[in-house]
Structure 1
Amino acid sequence: MHPSTADATAPRSEGFLASVHRAPEAARRWAAQGVRRMQRGFMPAVQMTICAVSAYFFAHMVLGHSGPLFAATSSLIALGFGVDSHISRVIEVSAGCTLGILIGELLHTVAGTGLWVAALVLMISILLARFLDPSSILTTQMGLQSLLVILLPAPDGGPFTRSLDAVVGGTFALIIVALWPQDPRKQSHSEVRDALNEFAGVLRECAGALAYADSRMAWHALIRARGMQPTLDKLNKAVAQAREISRISPLYLRHRTEIQELRESLNYLDLAIRNARIFARRLSSAITHASMPPETEGELSHIIELTAESVEALALGLGEASAGVRNRQMRRARLGLNDVASRLSPEQLGIRSLEGETLVLILRPMIVDLLEASGLSHDEAREHLPDLPPAP
């Protein structure tokens, strides 16, 4: 073999051997992830199984339908397998399934069978599924259901028996979600922790920008704060779903107050994050123009670092299911924010420049918002701020 060919082949051989050696570890990771998915999916799987079997049993034994396949399939589609299985979604998907089957049965009754009828029904069902939900799985399932309406022989009970089966399936899915939902707080707690920890990260970048007089770091904090919007949207959606379930499900009626308090806190958190974006933008300008002495920048950096620690405590409080732990963390957050609020005076910080004063004035309402998110009223939160000198 030519030496150059051998040299080129050697790295490929080494890479292949390394891949072989890594294969067992990759397989173990894959298996571990699969086990975790199975563990998380165990209760939803039980719910879906009970729902489908119950719907089939009711349609067959009570209504007397022969082989009510669509009762089972409609219940499975309506219930779904994700955290998004909430009341309004179940109603929407159930209505969509029933309407898709009804359209199929109408066309089947009027036009009979045939390739063009199947194509028309399939097209309508797919478009209807896309209207209801962006999920590709729902589109596939509804398309399959409508296709089965055309391809399977008509049942003995009449032309619209399958539509009634779909109603039965959707009803059972609704009953399961209402009477046996997943803990509505679980997703909300996870999302609020993620959002507030990200917010704390934004504040720490602002603190670092001041500590190192780095305007680029402040600008990066601004970009990061702006990028929080999808996280906030997910959080609001999770809380809305939790509130919906807690108002309907007897199992979680006792959590309505907690979820309502979390919902109210989100309004103040949204305002605080908006103020943080404004702060980061003005901070970049202030650092660029060197408008504050180093000792003032250091003090302000320390204040923002303390704020980040309080936000992390707030994350632990709002994201905790245990009332005792939640109350302790909320008290810790309030104490930290009270300390920060008491320092927010341009005069106390020795700030003389207009840009420096502006930064402090932006921080003041942000801290008030965070204090309100921790459970204080607006007046109680404002009491912790030092008075500003009267305007000349």
Structure 2
Amino acid sequence: MAVAGVGAYVISEQLLGHETPLFAAVAALIAMGFTKEPRLRKVVEVAIGCTLGVLLADMLVLGLGGGVVTALVAVFSAVMLARFLDPGPLLAMQMGLQSLLVVMVPVPADAVLGPFTRSIDAVVGGATALLITLITPKDPRGEPVREMREVADQFTLALRETAAALHTSDSRQAWHALIRARGLQSQVDETSKALSSAKELTRYSPAHRRHRHYVRRIEHTAGKLDLAVRSLRLMTRRAVSTIDHARLSDSGTVQLATVLEQLADAAGQLGQATRETGPGFDRWMNTARDSLAAVATRLHPQRLDIHDLEGEALVLLARTMVVDLLEATGCEHDDALTYLPAL
């Protein structure tokens, strides 16, 4: 942020000859935002908002002069235009703020382009912020990998809690697993946002283009893991009911719990793959695929000594989840189905 703000100021002052180019520094700082890893789309949105807000206010000042009435008209017009261009709050806030500052801050007497000098400064600030975002030496894989690792870890814990609940016939523990599974959705959403940012950087930044293939792969894995999380929520909720009504035989309970523990082990291997950004990624993915395939071959109610509808529903939900996880490892849908025994 410091480099962006000072750099934009220096460019406007030294290269363009603008005196006290305050709006260049302000636009750059606002566009960068107070985050460790500014996202490209957000930087572009804020930069455009700053520039349009300054330009609109400059035009109103030129036509109406300064004053409170002009400020009111400028801010209202900027916010309405922003809402028309983008329903999100970010663009409206930046356009309104910049319009207010332009009207209230006097134009320098020796401005090269008159009131429109500040519009040029805003363009310089936004462009500087965008350039720094593109060339900053950071790994775009870092944030999505961290987010997806957290999802995989919590997913594995929820599976283990469900298996333990079946072993002990403890519906409260199954409820804890359900609460954990429900809480995963916000983390899944954060993973999606992080992947969107990473895709933008690898698409437009020459420094990060080499990571495009990896980002596409983990995006596919994250999408399938999202589906598995949804199946997990359904299964844990069903497990609560099954335990409360004591629908499973002792043998069926033990075997189903064992299968879920094995499934949790395989999910843990998938989580380990998300920690790798090199050759270890493929190695762990292959290991997870083999483990999931072994679990899939057991997912038949009769093989697990399950003969009632509630128990069969648990097995069917586990089958769906295993297919999602197999696809997360890179397996094709039809190939994943071949591992499941016919019903």
TM-score normalized by the length of structure 1 = 0.78
Distance 2:76 2:275 in 1: 44
Match of 1:80 among 33, 36, 42: 33
Contact 1:96/1:128, CA 8 A, preserved across alignment: no
The Cα of 1:54 is off from its aligned counterpart by: 2.9
Q: Report the counterpart of residue 50 of structure 1 in structure 2.
A: 3
Give the letter for the 1:89 counterpart. Answer: K
3-state SS of the aligned residue for 1:61? helix
- Does 1:330 pair with 2:285? yes
What letter is aligned with 1:284? V
Does 1:207 find its partner at 2:163? yes
Letter in 2 for 1:99: L
Q: CA deviation at 1:336?
A: 2.3
Q: Figure out how many residues of one structure are paired with residues of the other and give that number.
A: 338
Task: Give 1:254's match in structure 2, choosing from 210, 217, 238.
Answer: 210
Q: Tell me, yes or no, if the aligned pair for 2:248 and 2:306 is still in contact at 8 Å.
A: yes
1:89 equivalent to 2:45? Answer: no
Q: In 2, Cα distance between the equivalents of 1:125 and 1:202? A: 48
Does the 8 Å CA contact 1:313/1:329 hold for their aligned counterparts?
Answer: yes
Q: 1:354 aligns with which of 303, 309, 329?
A: 309
Q: Which stretch of the first structure deviates more once superposed, 246-255 or 171-180?
A: 171-180
Q: Residue 275 of structure 1 aligns to which amino acid in structure 2?
A: S
Pairs within 5 Å for 1:1-392? 48-83=1-36, 85-121=38-74, 139=93, 145-155=98-108, 156-157=111-112, 158-180=114-136, 182-321=138-277, 323-388=278-343
Q: CA deviation at 1:253?
A: 0.9
Q: Provide the secondary structure at the position in 1 that maps to 2:341.
A: coil
Unpaired runs of at least 5, structure 1 = 1-47
User: 337-346 or 190-199, which moves further after superposition?
Assistant: 337-346
In structure 2, the gaps of 5 or more residues are none
For the 8 Å contact 1:181–1:245, the answer to whether it is kept is no
Letter of the aligned partner of 2:129 in structure 1? A
Stretch moving more, 182-191 or 273-282: 273-282
Distance 1:294 1:123 in 2: 69
- For 2:32 and 2:210, how far apart are their aligned partners in 1? 24
Once the two structures are TM-superposed, the CA of residue 83 in structure 1 deviates from its matched residue by 4.6
Mark the CA change 1:244 to 1:367 in structure 2 (over 3 Å): closer, same or farther: same
Identity percentage over the alignment?
44
Task: Give yes or no for contact 2:53–2:97 (8 Å, CA) kept in 1.
Answer: no
Contact 1:207 1:305 in 2 (8 A): yes
Amino acid paired to 2:119: S
2:251–2:305 CA contact under 8 A, matched in 1: no
- 1:87–1:245 Cα contact (<8 Å) kept: yes
Kept in 2: contact 1:180–1:249 (CA 8 A): no
Distance change >3 Å, CA 350–CA 314, structure 1 → 2: same
TM-score (norm 2): 0.89
Q: Distance in 2 between matches of 1:54 and 1:128?
A: 29
* CA-to-aligned-CA distance 1:222-241 (integer Å, 9 cap, x gap): 33322321111111111111
**SS across alignment from 1:82:** coil
Task: Report the Cα distance in structure 2 between the residues aligned to 1:175 and 1:132, rounded to whole angstroms.
Answer: 26
Counterparts in 2 of 1:134 and 1:205: CA distance versus 1, 3 Å: farther
Give CA deviations for 1:154-188 in whole Å, capped at 9, x if unaligned.
Answer: 13221211011101111121122222263211110
* RMSD of aligned Cα (Å): 2.6
The separation in 2 between residues aligned to 1:142 and 1:309, in whole angstroms, is 51
Contact 2:252 2:305 (8 Å CA) reproduced:
yes
What is the CA–CA distance in structure 2 between the aligned matches of 1:376 and 1:270, rounded to whole Å?
A: 16
Cα pair 1:246 1:255 within 8 Å, conserved = yes
CA–CA separation in structure 1 for the residues paired with 2:257 and 2:151: 22
**Larger CA deviation: 360-369 vs 177-186:** 177-186
Residue deviations 1:59-102 (CA, integer Å, cap 9, x gap): 22332322222112211111223156222211110111112212
